[in-house]
Amino acid sequence: MDQARTKTGAEIIVDCLKAEGVEFVFGVIGSSILDLLDVIERTPEIRYVRTQHEQAAVYMADGYARATGRPGVCTATCGPGVTNMVTGIAGAYHESSPVVAILGDIHTAHYGKGSSNFHEIDQENLFRPITKLSKRVEHVGRLAEFTRMAFRTALSGRRGPVYLGIPRNIQKETTEDTTWPIGRYRSQARCWGDPGAVQHAYELLSAARAPAILVGGGIRWTDGEAAILRLAEQVGLPVAVSHKGLVTEDHPWSVGVVGMVANPVAAEVLPQADVILALGCTFNQVTTGSFGNRFIARGAKIIQVDVDATEFGKNYPIELGIVGDLQAVAEDLLAAFDAGNGRHGAAEGRLQHILEAKRGWSQRLLDEGALSDVVPIQRARLMHDINQVVGKDAIISVESGSTHGWAYYGLNAYTPFLEPGDLSAMGTGWCMAMGAKLAFPQRPAVSVTGDGAFMMTCNELATAVDQKIPVVVVVPHNGVYGNVRRKQVEHFAGRFSGSELYIPDLARVAESFGAHGERVERPGDIIPALERALACGKPAVVDVVIDASYETLEPPVKLRVKDRY
């Protein structure tokens, strides 16, 4: 432990951040956090990343967390700075992302006067439904304890965001309290599954006619991909995912994403499974096609592995639940098959069928417009050309709505996409890419962001330029909110209330910020523009004018549930 000496509360917080190895703090300045920011400014190990809006600070912290598996830290002043962060924190809660929000709060001598008080709202209760832990610190002597609690909670079990409210006077007051190294207050050990349950899972998979693996978002927080793919190879198990790129798509046994914009190979293979090994998967609405049996066969035996036992049987009845780290359980299952019957009897035939289906899907993409020279540019062509330019090590982020669907349809995925997730807040994706790019400066970062979504956070181009974060934003520009536009065509007789957008020339907007900007209107210009954007060494916007006709609003594989919006 540190030798005891008098320190301010702000210094204690920063010492705790240093103990956690925090590299970046994202935020917007305000009076109630001036003391904290002053100490961060004097701490060379931590870089303060100034954003234009508090919402973007959370998005960037969330992107950093999802890309690294480490906590993303953000800060803001009390009152409006706090309320501006609510959407981002709610999104992190939906996706179980360990975002630690250390925010200013009202002076303890004034707290509780409500609307009579400048900036006062009940911040602790505001965040309680959308965090794993929401605390206001009332005494400087407990500040280190609560900060340790915040990181322990965010990173233990099922991960998630935490709110810590720090009154300004607590930041200024002094204490002789000490900070601790990580090992003194939280465990970093993996949670291993019960051996008897793992043996039962082995028996179920061995006896299955057509077993399969379904990987969910829990894989983001463990190094489980290699173990899962070894298990797939050893036993002969197709691997589907709930979110694009959770498992690399170029592995022979990888069949892609299932759900409302499903890869046709996964959409064929997973429903045939009589036993499903679900690893870190919650069986959410999008993945399951609104909790039906389109992808999860009625009567399929589900082996659900999760660090959070409250997920078991929430949406589908399970045959077996195993509490544990999915990497650890996969490794134990691999050892059981090594010692037992090894490979599933139908493995070779299934693999050949999967490989043929994947080749057919690649050809179908070409046939459905990936090589089209039509003007306006077709989305399938844009996705195809992005694939030609972006390498396997790239950070890829995608937006919500129709842009999200088309990215799932046409982009290749070798690492997990950064995406808004089930809260589906627009404007999230490219801010996440900035946070991830800071963590991995050597990797190219490309965000595919719809024009409507980009307009919600395009002010953060100033952040990207100011902080020298060279993310390339590819904007499919069609002047409509595509997802709701399609629904208006189908359900509202083409009455387009609110779905038509005014979008300026985004290349010129980018240039006005000091970023690189290009506008693309012809298919043959896509690849050269992308190559220039990636090579320019600074933030870039490639504004691609695309077809806005009804047929192009959603990808051809979009699952549509009749009479639902």
Domains of the chain plus CATH, in order, are 7-184 (3.40.50.970), 195-354 (3.40.50.1220), 371-552 (3.40.50.970)
Mean pLDDT of 353-378: 95
Query: Cα(118)–Cα(66) distance, rounded to whole angstroms?
Result: 35
Query: Cα(25)–Cα(13) distance, rounded to whole angstroms?
Result: 12
Long-range contact pairs involving 267-272 (C-beta distance under 8 Å, separation at least 24): 267/294, 267/295, 267/557, 268/357, 269/212, 269/238, 269/240, 269/354, 269/357, 270/212, 270/214, 270/238, 270/240, 270/295, 270/296, 271/295, 271/296, 271/297, 272/210, 272/212, 272/297
* Burial annotation 123-140 (CB, 10 A radius, 16+ → b, else e): beebbeebbbbbbbbeeb
Torsion angle (degrees, nearest 10) of CA 237, 238, 243, 246: 60
What pLDDT, on the 0 to 100 scale, is given for residue 559? Answer: 52
pLDDT in tens, 453-480: 999 999 999 999 999 999 999 999 999 9
Residue 345 pLDDT class (50, 70, 90 cuts):
low
Residue 343 pLDDT class (50, 70, 90 cuts):
low
What pLDDT, on the 0 to 100 scale, is given for residue 348? Answer: 87
Mean pLDDT of 212-230: 96
Assess contact for 323 and 191: CB atoms under 8 A: yes
Mean pLDDT of 34-58: 98
**Is residue 565 predicted with pLDDT exceeding 70?**
no
Q: What percent of the chain has pLDDT over 70?
A: 97
What pLDDT, on the 0 to 100 scale, is given for residue 563? Answer: 43
Torsion angle (degrees, nearest 10) of CA 221, 227, 233, 239: -20
Assess contact for 431 and 65: CB atoms under 8 A: no
Residue 429 pLDDT class (50, 70, 90 cuts):
very high
Residue 116 pLDDT class (50, 70, 90 cuts):
low
**Is residue 3 predicted with pLDDT exceeding 70?**
no
Residue 401 pLDDT class (50, 70, 90 cuts):
confident
What pLDDT, on the 0 to 100 scale, is given for residue 404? Answer: 94
Q: How far is CA 89 from CA 134, 153, 238, 420, 456, in A?
A: 12, 15, 34, 12, 17
Mean pLDDT of 356-361: 96
Calculate helix-pair angle for 34-41, 9-19, nearest 10 degrees. Answer: 50
56 contacts: CB under 8 Å, gap ≥ 6: 26, 88, 431, 457, 460, 463
Higher pLDDT, 111 or 108: 108
Nearest one of 217, 220, 219 to 330, comparing CA atoms? 219
**Is residue 50 predicted with pLDDT exceeding 50?**
yes
**Is residue 1 predicted with pLDDT exceeding 60?**
no
Q: Which tokens belong to 115? A: 């609307």
Query: Cα(519)–Cα(510) distance, rounded to whole angstroms?
Result: 10
Q: How far is CA 444 from CA 107, 128, 472, in A?
A: 44, 37, 8
Helices (H), 69-179: 80-83, 86-94, 123-127, 143-155, 168-172
**Is residue 558 predicted with pLDDT exceeding 50?**
yes
pLDDT in tens, 118-152: 777 999 999 999 999 999 999 999 999 999 999 99
What pLDDT, on the 0 to 100 scale, is given for residue 498? Answer: 93
Mean pLDDT of the chain: 94
